[in-house]
Structure 1
Amino acid sequence: MDERVREHAAVLVDWSARVEAGDNVVLSVGPDAHELAVAVAEQLGERGANLLATYSSGEIQRAYLRAHDGDFDEDPAHELALAEHADVFLSLGGGRNTSATADVPGEIRQAYRKAQEGVREARYDTRWVSTVHPTRSLAQQANMAYEEYRDFAYDAILRDWEALAEEMARMKTILDEGSEVRLVSPGTNLTMSIEGRTAVNSAASVEYDSHNLPSGEVFTAPNGTDGEVTFDVPMTIQGESVRDVRLEFDDGEVVASEAAEGEAVIGDVLETDDGARRLGELGIGMNRGIDRYTDSILFDEKMGDTVHLALGRAYDACLPEGETGNESAVHVDLITDVSEESRLEVDGEVVQRNGRFRWEDGFDA
């Protein structure tokens, strides 16, 4: 076993999920994530946690959803009980086909997501963390050789997370103290209110309200969005390719949309429910260990020189206590490259220009 697999498992269990003796841990394992699952199981055993491993396959989900009539039971009791009794939920991605569910009808997807809302909320109440094991399918999707992709993935995952957390704390402070964000780049001129919101320093640990490994972003929950935005980073959503998405907002809601590719997918997302037409997240990528696009949202949205916005559900960690943010059965991220002819302003002050933050070398005031 590559020693980096064991290091990945240790970071996931110790830094990310903060697993303790006696924790009930659900380990969701993708088809080709077996090696990482073995390493994680060993770590959990050493800590005296209680392990239940489940199998997560896009091909199995495709077969089930395509055969179903779409009248799903709401929050099946057995599935809900599993989530409600878990302390930790670890998801190890690593499928054989990144587009396995591409031909599932949009209306079936929507119905299934809505029926699973309670299960999702119960899972979000755990110390949940999602990661991926470098696989050949992910390498192919990223247009890399397998060995090259493994090096790339571990450069992003095996970071000095404490040091990165200290740097990202600067951006968190700026957003916490700010009232309005403006993003300007080719095809984009968008303003968002962030007044009263709390930004998350997403340093790949539940201690930071961060649930992805790798991570490396600072995000908050905007509202009152106005203007237009173009997402020029190609990506796969619901198993289908999406490229050059343009959204127009008025009073916080999407009023027009188009895409050079995957327009029907974006339409399906927007039609999920009322909340799917509003933003649930503004995220700023700050992980310089991610230096190229891979067509994987887990990596691409954390890349330095990017900003991403998510349609749908807002995370409670960004909201004042007792306040309900945007609610939706979806949370779909879209990414824009801000490395050239771009600026990010908070209350009229430029915080990032052409991908460089104001505390970094090369920032042009």
Structure 2
Amino acid sequence: MDERVREHAAVLVDWSARVETGDDVVVSVAEDAHELGVAVAEALGERGANVTTLYGSDEVSRAYLKGVEARVAGEGDDGDGNDDAAVDADDFDSDPAVDRAIFEAADAYLRIGGGRNTTATADIDRPTRQAYAKARKGVREARMDTDWVSTVHPTRSLAQQAGMAYEEYQEFVYEAVLRDWESLADEMARMKEILDAGEEVRIVTERDDAPDTDVTMSIAGRTAVNSAASVAYDSHNLPSGEVFTAPYDTEGEVFFDVPMTIDATRVRNVRLSFEGGEVVDFSAEAGEDALADILDTDDGARRLGELGIGMNRGIDRFTDSILFDEKMGDTVHLAVGRAYDACLPDGESGNDSAVHVDMITDVSADSRMEVDGEVIQRDGTFRWEEGFEG
């Protein structure tokens, strides 16, 4: 086994999930993430934790959802040869007890991604995916109540999606994961302090080759998360390396120039217009139907749940994986949908939705980010970094 796999497992178990002796840990392992799954199980055994493993297969999920679609189509067939019924949330058992029980009993949940096909569910109808997500909202909330951490094992399918050779992709992943997380946490604490003290964020980009961005949002009363890849920092992704908060009262327009995959659909060059905190107009050069379906999921899907600022400079290129891309230095991302409780005052409910979809814009040039009118970042450089020009 590549020693870096064991190092990855140690970071996940020790730094990220902070697993302790006697903890009940659920580990979901994707089809091609077997090697990291083995290393994680070994690390958990050494720490005296209890392990329950799940098979996290997108191909298995696809087969199940295809079966549901076939059943619903059969029930709706009136003999005219057409499918007369679409799948909705009532076609699934709401929050199956066995699934909820697994997560309600768990102290930690570790999701190890790395499937065989990054678009395994591409032919599942979007309404079916949305209905399934709505029906399992309680399961999702139970899972998120654990000390959960999501990571990926570098696989050939992910390397292909990123446009890299396999060995090159391995180097990329481990450069992003095997960081000096304590030092990065100290640096990101500067950004957290600024956001915690701030009331309004403005992001502006002015480029000759792309639509402008000029968007403002309130962050008053919110608490930013120093997402240093550890539950001790209210951070749940490995790698991480971002500072995020839960904005509201969004106004203006934003252009997302980083391509992404949403619901197994390639989406590119998204533009959102906000009025009164809500998306009132949108467009996309590619994948506009997928974007429309996301925004129509529920009322909360048209409002922002997150403003995130990428600060992991170990991530040096876009790979069409949100786990990495949103953490990249010189980027800012906004997510429509659910807000994270960690950013909200006690007793306050933030934006609620069945979805949380991040979209990214490159701020490495011709851009600035202001907090309460003061420029905090210009052309990707923060005010405490060498070369900053206020």
Q: CA deviation at 1:289?
A: 0.2
Task: Name the structure 2 match of 1:72.
Answer: 92
What percent identity do the matched residue pairs reach? Answer: 73
Mark the structure with the bigger radius of gyration: 2
Q: CA deviation at 1:323?
A: 0.4
CA–CA separation in structure 2 for the residues paired with 1:3 and 1:332: 34
C-alpha offsets along residues 86-114 of structure 1, whole Å, 9 cap, x if unaligned? 10000000011111111111111111110
Task: Name the structure 1 match of 2:8.
Answer: 8
CA–CA separation in structure 1 for the residues paired with 2:201 and 2:342: 19
CA–CA separation in structure 2 for the residues paired with 1:60 and 1:273: 27
**Is 1:23 aligned to residue 55 of structure 2?**
no
One-letter amino acid of the counterpart of residue 110, structure 1: Q
Task: Name the structure 2 match of 1:104.
Answer: 124
CA–CA separation in structure 2 for the residues paired with 1:62 and 1:358: 47
Match of 1:98, SS? coil
Match among 271, 284, 292 for residue 246 of structure 1: 271
Task: Name the structure 1 match of 2:38.
Answer: 38
One-letter amino acid of the counterpart of residue 149, structure 1: Y
Task: Name the structure 2 match of 1:60.
Answer: 60
Task: Name the structure 2 match of 1:117.
Answer: 137
On the 8 A contact 2:126/2:263 being kept in 1, the answer is: no
CA–CA separation in structure 1 for the residues paired with 2:135 and 2:286: 29
Which 5+ residue runs of structure 2 have no aligned equivalent?
A: 73-86, 207-211
One-letter amino acid of the counterpart of residue 114, structure 2: G
CA–CA separation in structure 2 for the residues paired with 1:223 and 1:294: 29
Task: Name the structure 1 match of 2:157.
Answer: 137
CA–CA separation in structure 2 for the residues paired with 1:125 and 1:58: 23
One-letter amino acid of the counterpart of residue 189, structure 1: D
Match among 186, 196, 210 for residue 221 of structure 2: 196
Q: CA deviation at 1:292?
A: 0.3
Q: CA deviation at 1:197?
A: 0.2
CA–CA separation in structure 1 for the residues paired with 2:154 and 2:170: 6
Task: Name the structure 1 match of 2:105.
Answer: 85
Q: CA deviation at 1:63?
A: 1.4
CA–CA separation in structure 2 for the residues paired with 1:151 and 1:46: 27
Task: Name the structure 1 match of 2:75.
Answer: none
Q: CA deviation at 1:13?
A: 0.1
Task: Name the structure 2 match of 1:150.
Answer: 170
Match of 1:294, SS? coil
Report the TM-score when normalising by structure 1.
0.99
Match among 235, 245, 254 for residue 220 of structure 1: 245
On the 8 A contact 1:31/1:94 being kept in 2, the answer is: yes
Match among 284, 290, 295 for residue 265 of structure 1: 290
Which 5+ residue runs of structure 1 have no aligned equivalent?
A: none
On the 8 A contact 1:31/1:57 being kept in 2, the answer is: yes
Task: Name the structure 2 match of 1:171.
Answer: 191
Aligned length: 365
RMSD: 0.6
Q: CA deviation at 1:66?
A: 2.1
**Is 1:343 aligned to residue 363 of structure 2?**
no
On the 8 A contact 1:66/1:105 being kept in 2, the answer is: no
